[in-house]
Amino acid sequence: MKSVMRIISRYLVSAVGVALILLAVNFVVFFIYMFQLNSIEQVEYPVSQIAEGLTIQNGAYQLSDTTEKIIEGNYQWAMLLDDAGKVIWSLNLPAEIPQKFTVPEVASFSRWYLDDYPVYVWRRPDGLFVLGGRVDSVWKYNIEYQMVVFDKIFIWIPLVLLINTLLAFAIALVFGLRLYHSLKPLAGGIRDMSEKKAVKLSTKGLLGELAAGINKASAHLVEQDIALDKRDNARTKWIAAISHDIRTPLSLVMGYASELESNTELPTAEREQAGIIRRQSQRIKTLVNDLNLASKLEYDKQPLRLSPVSLPGLVRKISADFLNGMMDERYTINVEIDENTQDETITGDEELLTRAVSNLITNSMQHNPKGCVIQINLVKEAPFISLSVIDDGVGFTEEQCRSLNQPTEDTDLPYSGLGLTIVRQIINAHGGKVKFSNRTAGGCEVLLSLPLYLGQANCE
């Protein structure tokens, strides 16, 4: 919804801007035009200059040739009145113009017209110079304002602009709001679509076609989602079914192999071979279990049974179990639990977390058949608890590190077993992060960061 508001406000600003720019352009063009027009008529040949073209030589008035040409080119006639109002010199004076003027007559034509001729006057020491233009060539208007208007010019021009701005803004706002109301459901629809909700917008009105398009896209997405979910479900179920069905035949293989292995009547070589069959079928069992769990975790079909879990207790229990039963002298486990972590519990699925940590220990043992020291550290770094499993063995290859840290969607099968993939899946399902790395001193380090409170990591 924010983006719609932003669109509308930008629209308002641009509408007001357009109005103001148009206003300004109009003003400028108008003034430039006026200025240029006046300069043609008056700046080049102002009446004062023309008046100066008339001089007294040897007691008689003489008009220079250039001035005469100007008068004849741009005007029609000219005359000079003395102080008494009598014409003492004239050029092309029409017959209807009288030879003597009274004061009221002079006062009248000096501002307006003289017998429809537009008239310009200039005061000379010897009288009044009168220049007559062609009839209908000039529209004369006597401008007169109250001084108060000019005093306030710096107030009213901005005021007019301001009122115009406000008006433009108001009009734009009305149109903008209408646009906003028609865009709002569309924006909501797009948002819902991104949240994978089904969208059904009204297709009436100006933006009906857009709404119909969004509806269609949403329907497609929902369909696709259902299809994908169905496929994931089918895949998970398929793997679950296989891993179920393989158990009974595998029981028979494992059972009889184990019986043969412990049958003292058989030669040693045969018993050893039976032992190999037994061990390999146990590997198949692990693989099948891992495959089933990995597929469930991958497609979110493994529900987490959440309860408070004490990680220190969990780490100690797993380590003790390994040391008590499954390990020989080649391997050592050192556990270091930070004092501030002793009392911490997190919300999690105890069995899955146990599986994750056990997988890491098993991984270290599997890749270091000559033995290694496994170090488990537990430190609280609020809002996370960091659990690292470190060994001094052969470490990961670069390729392994990369594929474990950046699993791509359609990744190839993991390099060896699903153990570490499951670790990542379990920790991710708990809202945590996993980092696989090699240590400069040799060996590998797997760092699990688990949020102290589930869901907290997602809120960040």
Partner 1 sequence: METIFDCKILIVDDEPELCRMVTDILQREGFRHVLSASNCREARQSLTKDRPDCVILDVTLPDGDGFMLLREMRADSSAPVLFLSARDEDQNRLLGLGLGADDYITKPFLPLELILRLKAVLNRTYFPLEQTGPQERIFYLGETQIDLESGTITRNDGEQITLTAKEFAFIEKLYENTGKIVTIENLCHAAWGDNVYRYENSLMVHIRRLREKIEADPSAPRYLLTVRGLGYKLVGVTKK
Interaction with partner 1 in 18-47: which residues (CB under 8 A)? none
CB of 241 to partner 1, least distance (A): 11
User: Is residue 184 a contact partner of residue 202, using CB atoms and an 8 Å limit?
Assistant: no
> Of 97, 179, 187, 253, which lies in the binding site for partner 1, with binding defined by CB under 8 A?
253
Task: Kindly state whether residue 235 participates in binding partner 1, applying the rule CB under 8 A.
Answer: no
> Of 69, 123, 152, 305, which lies in the binding site for partner 1, with binding defined by CB under 8 A?
305
Task: Kindly state whether residue 310 participates in binding partner 1, applying the rule CB under 8 A.
Answer: yes
Burial class, 217, CB count within 10 angstroms (exposed 0-12 / middle 13-18 / buried 19+): middle
To which H or E segment does residue 113 belong? Answer: strand 113-114
To which H or E segment does residue 107 belong? Answer: helix 103-111
Q: Nearest CA to 434 among 365, 391, 386? A: 386
Distance of CA 25 to the CA centre of its chain: 34
Q: Which two tokens stand for residue 23?
A: 């206003």
Which residues are CB-neighbours of 122 under 8 A, at least 6 positions away? 47, 48, 50, 51, 128, 129, 131
> Of 76, 292, 400, 449, which lies in the binding site for partner 1, with binding defined by CB under 8 A?
292
Burial class, 285, CB count within 10 angstroms (exposed 0-12 / middle 13-18 / buried 19+): middle
Task: Kindly state whether residue 317 participates in binding partner 1, applying the rule CB under 8 A.
Answer: yes
Q: In the complex with partner 1, which residue's Cβ is closer, 203 or 289?
A: 289
Q: How far is CA 184 from CA 169, 171, 177, in A?
A: 21, 20, 10
Task: Kindly state whether residue 258 participates in binding partner 1, applying the rule CB under 8 A.
Answer: yes
Q: How far is CA 195 from CA 201, 202, 221, 456, 459, in A?
A: 16, 19, 11, 20, 16
CB of 206 to partner 1, least distance (A): 55
CB of 176 to partner 1, least distance (A): 58
User: Is residue 392 a contact partner of residue 442, using CB atoms and an 8 Å limit?
Assistant: yes
User: Is residue 121 a contact partner of residue 139, using CB atoms and an 8 Å limit?
Assistant: no
CB of 365 to partner 1, least distance (A): 17
User: Is residue 446 a contact partner of residue 423, using CB atoms and an 8 Å limit?
Assistant: yes
Q: Nearest CA to 252 among 300, 284, 299? A: 284
| Stretch in the footprint of partner 1 (CB under 8 A) among 41-49, 162-170, 231-239, 311-319 | 311-319
Task: Kindly state whether residue 336 participates in binding partner 1, applying the rule CB under 8 A.
Answer: yes
> Of 48, 342, 397, 411, which lies in the binding site for partner 1, with binding defined by CB under 8 A?
342
| Stretch in the footprint of partner 1 (CB under 8 A) among 52-60, 76-84, 202-210, 322-330 | 322-330
With CB under 8 A, what is the number of residues at the site for partner 1?
Answer: 38
What is the contact mask toward partner 1 in residues 344 to 383, using x (rule: CB under 8 A)?
-------x--------------------------------
Task: Kindly state whether residue 255 participates in binding partner 1, applying the rule CB under 8 A.
Answer: yes
Q: In the complex with partner 1, which residue's Cβ is closer, 248 or 458?
A: 248
Task: Kindly state whether residue 343 participates in binding partner 1, applying the rule CB under 8 A.
Answer: yes
Residue type, 330: R
> Of 245, 270, 300, 381, which lies in the binding site for partner 1, with binding defined by CB under 8 A?
245
Chain residues in the site for partner 1 (CB under 8 A): 243-245, 247-248, 250-256, 258-259, 278, 281-282, 285, 289, 292, 305, 310, 312-313, 316-317, 319-320, 323-325, 334-337, 342-343, 351
